[in-house]
Amino acid sequence: MKELFETTASRRAFMGLFAGGVAAAAVQPAVAQAVQTSARIVIIGAGAAGTSLANRLVERLDGADITILDPSATHLYQPGLSLVAAGLKPSSYTESQTADWLPSGVSLITEAAAAIDPVAKTVGTSGGQTLAYDFLVVAPGLVLDHDAIEGFSLDMVGSNGIGALYAGPQYAAKTWEAASKFAEEGGVGLFTRPATEMKCAGAPLKHTFLIDDIAKRTAGEGKHEIHYAANNNSLFGVPIVSEKVRMLFEDRGITAQYSHVLKSVDAGAKIATFATPEGDAEMEYDYLHVIPPQRAPDVIRESGLSWADKWTDQGWVEVDMKTLRHLRYPDIFALGDVAGVPKGKTAASVKWQVPVVEDHLVAAINGNEGTAIYDGYTSCPLITRVGRAMLIEFDYRNNLTPSFPGVIAPLEELWISWLMKEVALKATYNAMLRGKA
């Protein structure tokens, strides 16, 4: 009888636990009452930033006329490109439908923004429409300037030992074709990064570490010579991380070539030319990974929204670094890669930027000032080999800002940090797109 009592008791406990889980799933964070408005809001770009903001704004605003512009039917989960280019995921892993992420109540126009007039407050589309706005959010990401590298074109990727994983899912898959051949056959590998600002400054390092690891496991130690061409005399923008990477390179036998910026490629002769402080330097290669200079899209640079005295060759939007609000046109905000702030070209930054712009935008509609502040949070699970990574998080001041202090050490190569990148990141990214998390 006693035993019967015990089993019933534990069964009740079990049912309680189950109900608790369901209740936890049902609990939503308290939402402030939606603001009534007829404001016209135009969002340029339905990438990580634009999509996330659109999903949050429809929750906060009632009656707003929200239009989002994006010519691309495919949404790209770009952090997955690093995994595709190492043969760990298929290219389809990074692709989904842009429209599937957008809420009802937002109109999607599948055209590009072709002109912005910040004085008349209109956006002209590639299809010839003119959209008037009360508030404009520019989030078109950035463009890859492959033409800036002499002798290089995207049709070379995958053959002749050339990779370029930033160029998109198909190119990332072709990059793996070239990289895996290099891993099997051995030789000299050159891994580059541009001298401009770039999205996910950790990605060039990840590719280097991953291919180095795969190469050693495939053909064995001593068959490969790996060089990382840094754009200046550090390996990462945050000094303490740069030092850690320097130590890891020493440990792996990867040679750092400081202040080597890729200038041109002779694919026939397999020679890459780098601009260095001492003049041009030529290096032979068996595998070359190209990441081109990155800039704001033309429409931004041509509409007078860029900084006049900073990043003049790149054209990032002139915004306040704490509020992401345009310094000359207060009804314009910039989000994501296109924003002219010193850090933050990652999806993880977008996650922290979106609530800030949401706050200031909704406050402006209400006729007051927002209070939320973006502190430069940027994060990058820096893969150091297949199965291990470092969860690097930092802010404008180059301080490390670990999410799990004392549990997940930022400068330690951990399996759990690899799990974050390989499995948790996409789930969190998707939650962010839906405006949750």
Site for ligand FAD in 100-139 (CB under 6 A): 112-113, 139
Q: Which of 217, 236, 181, 183 lies closest to 385, judged by CA? A: 217
Q: Is 317 in the site for ligand FAD (CB under 6 A)?
A: no
Q: Is 166 in the site for ligand FAD (CB under 6 A)?
A: yes
CB of 297 to ligand FAD, least distance (A): 5
Q: Which is nearer to other proteins, 17 or 120 (CB)?
A: 17
CB of 421 to ligand FAD, least distance (A): 6
Six-digit token pair at 195? 């001298």
Q: Which is nearer to other proteins, 124 or 336 (CB)?
A: 336
Which residue has 């790209």 as its token pair? 76
CB of 233 to ligand FAD, least distance (A): 24
Q: Is 81 in the site for ligand FAD (CB under 6 A)?
A: yes
Are 204 and 187 in contact by the 8 Å Cβ rule? The answer is: no
CB of 139 to other proteins, least distance (A): 19
What does 346 interact with, of other proteins, ligand FAD, none (CB < 5 to 8 A by kind)?
A: ligand FAD
What does 235 interact with, of other proteins, ligand FAD, none (CB < 5 to 8 A by kind)?
A: none
Q: Determine which residue in the list 44, 162, 205, 432 makes contact with ligand FAD, applying CB under 6 A.
A: 44
CB of 341 to other proteins, least distance (A): 19
What does 203 interact with, of other proteins, ligand FAD, none (CB < 5 to 8 A by kind)?
A: ligand FAD
Q: Is 203 in the site for ligand FAD (CB under 6 A)?
A: yes
Q: Is 347 in the site for ligand FAD (CB under 6 A)?
A: yes
| Residues found near ligand FAD in the complex (CB under 6 A) | 44-50, 69-72, 78-79, 81-82, 112-113, 139-141, 165-166, 199-200, 203, 297, 299, 336-337, 345-348, 350, 379-381
